Amino acid sequence: MLFRKKHKIRYAENLRLFEQLEKQKSQVDSEKQLIKRSIDPSDDVLNRAKVTEAIYSFLLREARERRASKDTL
């Protein structure tokens, strides 16, 4: 009984992690496109892109550490 609850919590958190990963990936892609299209991107845009890419890489590392994959969902 106790292990079922633990499994449900892990499953729900993995779902949430993958949702955040997809959202962050699309945000990183859109910011890269913005930088690519602009002639002279401002420092604010470049810094924001670095922050979002750092968040995305953190989420990827978290998924690897949990050994979570979309196939197991």
| Residue 11: closest CA among 56, 68, 61 | 68
Place of tokens 């990936």: 25
pLDDT in tens, 63-72: 999 998 888 7
* 20, 51 contact by CB (below 8 A): no
pLDDT in tens, 20-72: 999 999 999 999 999 999 999 999 999 999 999 999 999 999 999 999 888 87
* 31, 49 contact by CB (below 8 A): yes
Instruction: For the chain, give every domain's residue range.
Output: 2-72
* 27, 2 contact by CB (below 8 A): no
Is the dihedral angle over the CA atoms 22, 58, 56, 60 positive or is it negative?
A: negative
